[in-house]
Amino acid sequence: MRHNDFELLDLIMENDEIAYNIMLDKYKPLIYKKALKYYKYVINNNYSGISLNDFISEGLIAFDSAVKTFDVNKNYLFFSFFIVCLKSRFNIMLRSLFAKKNKPLLHYQELEFEICDVKQIDPYIQIDNIYTNQILKNYLNNIDFIDSIILQLRLNNFKYREIIDLLDVNSTRINRVVNKAKKNLSFYFI
């Protein structure tokens, strides 16, 4: 027997678990298809540390949220509403994954994997990184402590609003610190 979404949603509002499971089974192929699409995108961008099951779990959370927040009195279909919820959830997940401040953990996992596989690191790259890091470390040690924290947060891709909330400083100070660092550290992009 085939039920339409509005009938199932009415039953779900009355706490009918069977209706919820029927509706979930109906939308699972869509969740899987979209999760696979986003997962392939992440893999094509050379990221590891995330699996297809992570996307599927986010899709199930989006489904649950869509079922709970859908308003039957609005003039749109549940399918359309669910697609928007699903894409939004996956896009937020991607934004969080690709944010520079979240990369060190992912890079650490990848680096650990590479070291186990290759057993060696290019010494020239390592020397360049040591030299660059030493210059940056010296610069950070020679400026004000709060300015040093501001610069470190900006280098880790924190937005001005996030820095303002964390450190209770104004945006002009952040601008001053960043511009001064750009002049003194022309090799490093901020």
Most confident by average pLDDT, 1-5, 59-63, 134-138, 182-186: 59-63
More confident residue, 13 or 61: 61
In the prediction, which pLDDT does 114 show? Answer: 45
Q: Measured in whole angstroms, how far is the alpha carbon of residue 44 from the centre of its chain?
A: 16
Q: Is the pLDDT of residue 117 over 60?
A: no
Question: So where are the chain's domains?
Answer: 5-98, 118-184
Distances (CA, A) of 189 to 71, 143, 173, 184, 185: 47, 18, 19, 11, 8
In the prediction, which pLDDT does 190 show? Answer: 41
Lowest mean pLDDT among 18-32, 102-116, 129-143: 102-116
CA torsion 102-159-188-185 (nearest 10°) is -140
Could you report the per-residue pLDDT of 5-43, keeping only the tens digit for each? Answer: 777 877 778 887 888 888 888 888 888 998 888 888 888
Contacts of 131 (CB under 8 A, 6+ apart): none
Arithmetic mean of pLDDT, 81-100: 81
Q: Is the pLDDT of residue 111 over 50?
A: no
CATH of 5-98, one of 1.10.10, 3.40.190, 1.10.1740, 1.25.40: 1.10.1740
Tally of CB atoms within 10 A around 125: 9
Average pLDDT, the chain: 75
Task: Give percent of the chain above pLDDT 70.
Answer: 76
What's the helix, strand, coil split of the chain in %, to 5?
75, 0, 25
Query: Which pLDDT band holds residue 116 (cuts at 50, 70, 90)?
Result: very low
